Amino acid sequence: MPAVSFSPSSTTADVASQSFEVRPFSDAVGAEIVGLDLSRPINDQDFSRIHRAHLDHHVVVFRDQRISPEQHIAFSRRFGVLQIHVLKQFLLVGHPEILIVSNIIENGQSIGLGDAGKFWHSDLSYKELPSLGSMLHAQELPSEGGDTLFGDMHKALDGLPDALRKAIEGRSAAHSYTARYSETKFEGNWRPTLTPEQLAQVAEVVHPIVRTHPETGRKALFVSEGFTTRIVGLPEDESRAILAELYAHSVRPENIYRHQWQPHDLVFWDNRSLIHLAAGCPSHLRRKLYRTTIQGDAPF
């Protein structure tokens, strides 16, 4: 297994360690980190434990985090360069690193992206350098609904039938942000028309269908119903049929962790290992979360 790498902060050498626990969920995916306060400085030893937990469990939940946008951004930057979302109208004022995910309407305008994650996807797979991971921090939660589902794409690949594995061997697929951009799924949510400038930022890219995690060396499927459009080099009908089988296989119940949000949760998932889905909530119930996205490497 390749060595875990991260960029330690030279300013944390004399910061005291915090006492916290990493508690794996009963599902094969995910863990919660309890007792850690992200509003306080994190030394390199503690950061290494957090980083290791993220790689081992693919999604980690930091409970009860009373942090500011500045602290959210600073912690995210410990893992890498932050990516700015193409929908600039939904970025937090003064903090463009944060995308507002919300169904709230104020003065007749949506304050955030109301239907983010309505189809299974890996964040920014439509970019040349897709996301390493995303951190989503709960601001306002509905009294019902609003769950987020995560699918383990390592397990999905490991359990792939031989015929399907052979059909995708060595192949690549195209990804596009606009693949299902205009399709409605949740009542009351909508997406703004993209400008020519925005469209230029999300031109189609091609990535391998099976990618290797750059830090752990594990292989995972890297396709999703949200952004994958076709398998390169195959007739359209064959491509569509194979992708449909891959999508159905990826979200089998044994591959899924369902996150039920608690107040002030900060959820950090690995987009190289997982796909995720927003389950939706009634449109009249307010929901608002802040998301940062960390840039990853070109898939290989």
Active-site residue, selected from the candidate residues 51, 57, 121, 207: 121
- Residue 181: is its pLDDT beyond 60? no
Q: Strand pairing partners for 291? A: 99, 136
Domain ranges of the chain: 21-115+125-141+260-274+282-295
Q: Are strands 31-34 and 59-62 parallel, antiparallel or unpaired?
A: parallel
At 194, the pLDDT band (50, 70, 90 cuts) reads low
Give the count of beta carbons closer than 10 Å to the beta carbon of residue 7: 11
For the beta sheet containing 256-259, the strands, ordered from the edge strand earlier in sequence to the opposite edge, are: 256-259, 148-152, 274-278
Residues of the chain with pLDDT > 70: what percent? Answer: 87
Active-site residue, selected from the candidate residues 51, 58, 207, 276: 276
The answer to whether residue 123 is catalytic is yes
The answer to whether residue 40 is catalytic is no
Spatial neighbors of 31 by CB under 8 A, at least 6 apart, are 22, 23, 24, 25, 53, 56, 57, 59, 60, 61
At 7, the pLDDT band (50, 70, 90 cuts) reads very low
The pLDDT score that the predictor gives to residue 2 is 46
Q: Which of 119, 123, 142, 100 is nearest to 278 (CA)?
A: 119
CATH topology (fold) of 21-115+125-141+260-274+282-295: Double-stranded beta-helix (3.60.130)
Instruction: Give residue-wise pLDDT tens across range 20-77.
Output: 999 999 877 999 999 999 999 999 999 999 999 999 999 999 999 999 999 999 999 9
- Which amino acid is residue 186, in one-letter code? F
Q: How far apart are CA 38 and CA 121, in angstroms?
A: 27
The answer to whether residue 121 is catalytic is yes
The answer to whether residue 180 is catalytic is no
For the residues of 108-155, what is the DSSP string, one character each?
TEESSBTTTTSS-B-TTTTSSS-EEEEEEEEEE--SS---EEEEEHHH
CB 82 within 8 A of CB 74: no
